[in-house]
Every structure is written in structure tokens, then in C-alpha cells.
Structure 1
Amino acid sequence: MSVTTRRTRLAAAALAAITAIGGLAACGKDDDKPAAGEKPTKLVVDTFSEFGYDELVKQYEKDTGIKVELRKTAQLSEYRPKLVRYLATGKGAADVTALEEGILNEFKTNPRNWVDLNPLIADHSKEYLPWKWELGKSQDGRLVGLPTDVGSLAVCYRKDLFQAAGLPTERDQVSALWPDWKGFHDAGLKYKQGSGGKAFVDSITAVSNGVMFQGNGDLFYDKENNIIADTSPAVKNAWDTATSMVDISAKTSTWSPEWSGGFKQGTFAVTFCPSWMLGIVSDNSGPANKGKWDVAAVPGGGGNWGGSWLAVPEQSKYPKEAAKLAEYLTNAKSQVDAFKLKGPLPTNLEALKNEAFLSYTNEYFSNAPTGKIFGESVAKIQPTHLGPKHQAVKENAFEPALRAFENGQADKAKAWEQFTKDAKTQGAF
């Protein structure tokens, strides 16, 4: 039996077990099913990070009379275990559930956990980036998720800190500092010298994400979903580039309290900003730092870090209404409004051509033309193959090993050895 065949059978067995457990739980809830034609008084939406839905759901409530509860989880690493538990027990899931690209493949392998959206909504297949739409479908053709955003890359930087360190502050001049990753490191060294030794970038794990999601090659898995973490050129390049930046890093783990506080305190001067990160940066930095941030090009000329879909779990008592809510949250107008509020970059083709999107400037980020900056990069984005346990390998093997090196707990060779060992465990399925 080949490794691939064995993994496929193991995956099928595991998913069957989850389905069976979920089925048993669902059987116990038959009495809770709504009467035919009964409308919901409330629908629940689960998201992680920031999707920009706060104002949209208020309008939806006015239009439909249905209350919408937004359940936000700050970190994807906390979100995924909740989702696993909901699917395994057959209860607790929201009516509409966000699936990030790193976990989409893992969860859509068992489409029986998800409502097929095809018969519940209009045909929108020609309205989105083609590759984004296709990724929302299961192998048997079921429409599991409706596209939300993509994570076109840029660099967010503090103009005031750059100025104090003697670096240029205008976004075109800043972009010119780092045409490649060596230029980024050189700029960091100049900043460190000019600022009296302050750190330049938030962490080397942030650097690794910027590098890793610029390539179109396989990352932790090959196309047959075999683990190739220790031989992947894209992963090794991200590792080598990130570890070379340790001397300009603030060593703040992304999503940690130190990282969140670092935005206000000026602990670091730059961070990597997929479009969806803009809302997080502004929220963490607070009103006092409005106008101090700006947006520049990423070294190496673009990339795609992140992006999601909205799905409806089979557990939902109101799948038709939930599907309509997901449809509303992902339509062209809603994607533009969400972008303007918190930054998630549209994937709806009409939204990407919308003048309100293209001409949008972000007041918090020094009136940066974020619609133009991020919108122009969308056509260049190519899908990256992410295996079924990509997020687990990244968050539980790759990044911990990077942090071990960054914090002096292991030398580079030992840290790499730790990663390749843990990747096999985390990536098994």
C-alpha cells in the first residue's frame, strides 16, 4: 500500500468517525427542528480575526427582521479546534461559518458536514475570481463555500518612526528601499542604527509568511498531499530568509499580548499586511496613532497570504436562510463595504471594478490609496496548493521552530530539525 493510499484510507476512516459522531448528536436533536416554513429569529456567524461584517449585519437585520450574532475569535489557532469540536459532536456550530484557506481543504474533504449551497442560492459562478470560486467546491461538485477575500500582500510601516531613524517616509520611496528581501534587511539595519538599536520588524515568523506566500510552488504538501516539509524549496527559502532577519526582529509572537501592544508602543516599525490585516493594525494601534501608519509594497513584488469562504454547516436548523445570509455577506456591495471598514480584499469581480473600491483611500493609513494598491495586485495572484493540515503544520511545527531559533532556545540547525520532525506529526491525517 502506498503512503498516499494509506493516508487517504486513514483520512476516510477519521472523517467517517466524525460524521458518525455528528450523526448521533444530530439524531438526539430531531425534536429541536423548526416546523416547516418557520423563520429564524436569529442566525449566528462564526469568524476569526476581522471580516468587516459589523455594519453589514445591522443592515441585514433591518431588511429581514432576523437578528445576526457575530461570534469572533481573534486567532485562527483558537478557531480551528472549536470547529473540530462542533463537527465531531454535531452541535455548537454557527449557521454561517468562515473557512480560511489553510483549513478549507481539511474540512471540505467531508462535504457531508456542509450544506450544498447550489440549490439554495442563485448561480454566482461567473461573478468571482475563477480559481477562488473553484476552491470553494468539494471533489463531488458540491458548493461548500462562497468566496470572501484574498490576502494580497503589502508592508505597513510607521512613518514617524522611519523619520526619527533617518529613513524616507513617502510610500514610493519606502517601497524603493526593498525591491527584494536583501533590501528589506538592509533597510532594517539602517533603521536599527538610526533609532539607537530599536527593532525593525515584529517577528521572523511574519517575514516567513511574507516570503512563503509569494511562491506558486508546493509548500508543506505536494499535489498528492504527501508531506514534503523537509524538501520543499518554497519552505526552505522562507526559512532561510526569515532566520536571516533575526537581528532586526522585535521577537514578538503574532497575536500575543506583546505583539498587540507593540503597535501602540512602537516596539517595531513594520509588519507584513495582507489586506485583511489593515483593520487589525488600526485596532491595535488605536486612535492616537492614526496618520502615523502608511502602506508600501512588499519585497519581491506581491503575494497572497490568507483568504476565506463562508460555509453553512449541516447542523444549521435554517440552512436556506443561512445560505441567503452568506450570499448577502459575499455580494459585490458587501465586499466593498467590508473592505472599506476593515480591509478584507474583494474577490467579487464587480466589486473589484467598483469605483468606490478603486478610489478608496484609508484615512488611518495616511490616506493611502489602498483600493488601488491592493486592487492592482489581485490579477497577479495565483492559487497556492495548501494540503489538508497546512495550518496545523504552519502553526504547530514551522512557527514554533522559528520562534525557538529567534529566542535563542535552539540554533538554526536544531530548530530546522525540530520543525521537520514536528511537521510529520502535525501533517499526518
Structure 2
Amino acid sequence: MKLSRRTRAVAAVAGAASIALLATACSNGGGGEGGGEGEEVTLTITTFGTFGYDDLYKEYEAANPGVKIEATNIDTGGNARTDAFTKIAAGSGLSDIVAIEEGWLGAIMEVSDQFVDLRDFGIEDRKADWVDWKYEQATDPDGRVIGYGTDIGPTGICYNGKLFEAAGLPSDREEVATLLEGDWAHYFDIGRQYQQATGKAWYDHSGFVWNSIVNQLPEGYYTSDGELNVEDNAELKENFDLLGSAIGDGLSAAQSAWDWNGGKSFVDGTFATFVCPGWMLGVVQGNTEAGGGDATTGWDFADVFPGGAGNWGGAFLSVPETSAHKEAAAALADWLTQPEQQVKQFEAAGTFPSTVKAQEELAANPTPNEFFNDAPVGQILAGRAEGVVAQFKGPDDSVIQENVFGPPLSALDRGEVDTATAWDQAIELLHELVD
């Protein structure tokens, strides 16, 4: 199924509110207009998850006395999509700066004319700042650039060293990297060893693992030219069956996405490994601490990922056409995404930079992360980013991940259906929600 850009755009605006409700799922300063000496402007910004911007907002306000920042942070990217598309459909309510997640950037591109072309504010002068595919992701079919790149999502494996030791597995991160080197089938095989030794699950839940697998394919839910690519995709079905076999062998802890029993499951040994793009490091630490744990709980970060390099997530800062302060908003978004700020953002939240200089800084000056057993997480992620090219994401990519495959995988995790039935349920939901 492939529609013309104009047809798709009209459909996206008309149906944005209803589609959004289906989704549940990471300048060099100067104030510009309203930010000059003696002038005042209040800029609103909406982010989601853990961006690590709080201290940067204060720093910007201190350097630009005429600017006040009012920030809203939504808990998940999926809920942020709901918020954004509801307001786009209403024609009002968007902040001066809106964070857009990679997973629903394709849907935003259907209505890209609702956002400012940042070439009007000099973004082309910064094109070489970012890894090339990041800049291209934010460029619409008409050549308009609608987002300043924030982070990207190179992936490694978070693992609990204490649980590995209890199962007779190595816990040293270099040895763990060697142990887990290989494809997803190998990762599941090691998980079976762990499960047989402990009787406990290997990973938290299958939705995140499935997303990681799909992100590594040359083409995911869409082909590179925008065709829906699910129902007759033999590679996708083969990987679904592989995951189903792992679930059947007890490797999934069947956790609820974004819950983990209030964080306690990160502390009580419910699972031993966790798929970790850079921005998930903050999720692991935050949930462990919420569950009563700390650095002694045993979490570590290994320079390895099943199947090799992969990218999960990343975001952009965009300025809606409805903003009354476009120049000042662009100046703030530009500043927040400069290499210096991206390094600070990483230190605050683990979000790995999309700018080349920031990546080089983290690789050259590794800082031990106390929570992750002093792992040099910046250096590890810089290495994991090598060879990563983001997969094309179509307009309903996040809907397919969360609302088409999410419920069947949850049911499969809980033992309510078998693998074949779960696949059939996903295809039925695909026809209902996307076709």
C-alpha cells in the first residue's frame, strides 16, 4: 500500500486524533525574536521520557535573561505521539518546541508542512555536525528540514553480574561480551542455559526484544520506498517464530512494558538481561532505584548486542508553524542540540549524541559510570554506533510495533496463545488498524 504524499498528508490530518489514540509507545545561544536585550519571551517545550534537559534549561535562561522556558515532559514516546497528533488535528496547542521520536517521525512527515523549515534558521550550516543519516531523517520529500537531531540509539546489553555469577556464567563485562557475541539464536541459547540453572527468566518481556530484532533488519515494517512490509514478510515471520520458541522455553519474564512492578523486577532477580540503547541506561537506573536498589544491585553494561549493530530510538526538536516565537524557539532548539550540550545531556540521562564531535568526545574521554559497575558507557556506545544506519520508518511504524504486535506478544508471554496464533492475531490487528 503506497499513497501519494498529498493524499497521505490529507489522510494523516483528518485521522490524526483517532490514530494517535491507538498509540501508546526515546544557534549558538542568543534569544532571537523576543530574546534580545530588554525583551522577554516565554518558550514552551514538550519532551518525553528522559531527555536530561533540566540543567540545560537553567543554563540557557541564565545566558539569555529575556528567555523563560516552560517545559512539559510526557512519560513515554507513545503518549507524546498521542499528544502531538491530537493537537495537530485540533490546529492548536503545540508547544514552541516539540520533541519527535524516530518511531513516529514517518507519521509526522505526512504533515511536515505543519512544522517550520529550519533551513530558514540556518540549520544547513550545521549539516556536517550530525551523522549523515540523522540529518537526512529530518528532511521531508520536498527537501524541508523539520528537526534538530538530539540523540540516537546504538544498543548494547545491560546485564546483572550477580545473577550471572549465581548461574555459573561469567560476570566480567569483556567475558560477557565474548559469551553473548553472535546472533539472536545464540542469545536465546545462552538464556536457556541461564533459565535451566536458575529457573528464572532471561529478559524482561518480548516486546522490547522484538523491536530490537526488527530494527536490525534491512527493511522493517515498511520497505525503503514506503510499502507496507509485514504480512508476507518471510524474514519477519521467521524471527517471530524464533522469539516464540524462546518464550516457550521460559526466557521471558512477561513484564508489563514501562512498569517492571514499579522497578522491583530490576532488583529482585526477575530477569538477568535487558536490551539497552543508550537512552535505556537511564531507564534501568531509574527503575532500579525506584525498586529500592542501587549500584550494588549488580547491573553492568556490555559491549555486545545480538545480531550486531542496531539503532533503537532517537529524537528531534521541531518548531511548529503555530509557534508565535519561531526564531527564538529555533535558537533554543539549535543550542540544545549543539555537541557541547549533547555531551551534558548524555551525562545527565544516557542519551547518546547524534553529533559527531560529541561522539568523539565520549569515545576519547570515557567516564566510568558508577551505577553500571564503572562501565565506560560512553566509549562502549560510541563503538556500538559504528556501522549503524537507521531503518526507514513508515507513517504507522510505532502503531504496528505497539498496537499490532504488542498485544499478541504480551499474550504469548503470558502463555495464553501459541506462536502461530499470536502471529495470526498480529495480522488481524494490522488489517484493522493500518491497512
Normalising by structure 2, what TM-score? Answer: 0.88
Tell me what 1:14 maps to: 11
- Residue 239 of structure 1 aligns with which residue? 240
301-310 or 7-16: which moved more?
7-16
Letter in 2 for 1:173: E
Choose the corresponding residue for 2:167, options 165, 168, 181.
165
CA separation in 1, counterparts of 2:279 and 2:13? 35
Alpha-carbon distance change, 56 to 237 in structure 1, aligned in 2, over 3 angstroms: farther
Q: Distance in 1 between matches of 2:41 and 2:404?
A: 43
Could you tell me which residue of structure 2 aligns to residue 304 of structure 1? Answer: 311
1:208 has 2:214 as partner: no
The aligned residue for residue 420 of structure 1 is: 427
CA-CA distance at 1:79 after TM superposition: 1.4
Contact 2:408/2:425, CA 8 A, preserved across alignment: yes
Identity of aligned residues (%): 33
Amino acid at match of 2:204: D
Change (3 A) 1:118 1:9: closer
C-alpha contact 2:42 2:68 (8 A) present in aligned 1: yes
Quote the Cα distance in structure 2 between the aligned partners of 1:245 and 1:85: 38
Shift of 1:358: 4.1
Q: Structure 1 residues 356, 130: closer, same or farther in 2, change over 3 A?
A: closer
| Equivalent position SS for 2:293 | helix
Structure 1 residue aligned with 2:398, among 391, 394, 403?
391
> Which residue number corresponds to residue 94 of structure 1?
95
Query: Is structure 2 residue 299 aligned with structure 1 residue 293?
Result: yes
Question: 1:151 corresponds to which residue?
Answer: 153
Is residue 60 from structure 1 mapped to residue 60 from structure 2 by the alignment? yes
Which structure 2 residues correspond to residues 87-236 of structure 1 after superposition, within 5 A? 87-121=88-122, 123-180=125-182, 181-195=184-198, 197-215=199-217, 217-236=218-237
**Gapped regions of structure 1 (runs ≥ 5):** 20-33
Task: Determine helix, strand or coil for the equivalent of 2:405.
Answer: helix
Retained in 2: the 8 A contact 1:4–1:226?
Answer: yes
Q: State the Cα deviation string for residues 296-337 of structure 1 (Å, max 9, x = none).
A: 111222211111111011121111111111101100001111
Verify the 8 A CA contact 1:276 1:343 in the aligned structure 2: yes
Encode CA deviations 1:172-229: one digit per residue, 9 max, x unaligned: 111222222233222222222332x1222101222212222222x2211223422221
* Alignment match, 2:24: none
Q: Secondary structure at the match of 1:207?
A: helix
- The C-alpha deviation readout for 1:135-175, integer Å capped at 9, x for no partner, is 11111121100111111011101112222222211011112
Decide whether the 8 Å contact of 1:336 with 1:356 is kept in 2.
no
Q: Residue type matched to 1:349 in 2?
A: V
Pairwise CA distance, 1:356: 7.4
SS class of match (2:45) = strand
- Structural mapping, 1:360-371, within 5 Å: 360-371=367-378
Distance 1:213 1:391 in 2: 12
- Aligned-partner SS, 1:248: coil
Segment of structure 1 superposing worse, 91-100 or 144-153:
91-100
- Cα deviation for residue 54 of structure 1 reads 1.6
Indicate conservation of the 8 Å contact 1:177/1:183, yes or no: no
Matches within 5 A, 1:276-291: 276-286=279-289, 288-291=293-296
Kept after mapping to 1: 8 A contact 2:138/2:147: yes
SS at match of 1:236: helix
Amino acid in the other structure paired with 1:253: S
1:376 CA drift (Å)? 1.4
In structure 2, C-alpha distance between the alignment counterparts of 1:242 and 1:313, rounded to whole Å = 40
- 1:326-345 aligned at under 5 Å gives the runs 326-345=333-352
The answer (yes or no) to whether the contact 2:35–2:64 under 8 Å persists in 1 is no
- Name whichever of 98-107 and 38-47 sits farther off: 38-47
Are 1:212 and 1:234, in contact at CA under 8 Å, matched by a contact in 2? no
- Identify which range, 136-145 or 284-293, moves more after superposition: 284-293
Q: 1:253 is matched with which residue?
A: 256
Change (3 A) 1:235 1:378: same
From 2, 20, 29, the counterpart of 1:4: 2
Give secondary structure in 2 for the equivalent of 1:253.
coil
The code of the aligned residue for 2:242 comes to: T
Provide the rounded CA distance (Å) in 1 between the counterparts of 2:72 and 2:425: 35
Counterpart amino acid of 1:133?
A: Y
1:93–1:294 distance in 2 versus 1, CA, 3 Å: same
CA distance in 1, matches of 2:239, 2:355: 30
In the alignment, the residues of structure 1 paired with residue 146 and residue 35 of structure 2 have an alpha-carbon distance, to the nearest angstrom, of 24
Output the CA distance in 2 between the equivalents of 1:345 and 1:129: 12
Give 1:252 shift. Answer: 0.4
Residues 257, 171 of structure 1: alpha-carbon distance in 2 compared, 3 angstrom cutoff: closer
Q: 1:358 to 1:254 in 2, by over 3 A?
A: farther
SS, match of residue 382 in structure 1: coil
Aligned position for 2:28 = none
* Alignment root-mean-square deviation, CA: 2.3
* Structure 1 residues 394-409: aligned runs within 5 Å: 394-409=401-416
Deviates more, 1:52-61 or 1:355-364: 355-364
**What is the letter of the counterpart of residue 379 of structure 1?**
E
Of 377, 382, 388 in structure 2, the residue corresponding to residue 381 of structure 1 is 388
Separation (CA, whole Å) in 2 of partners of 1:186 and 1:259: 29
More deviation, 357-366/123-132: 357-366
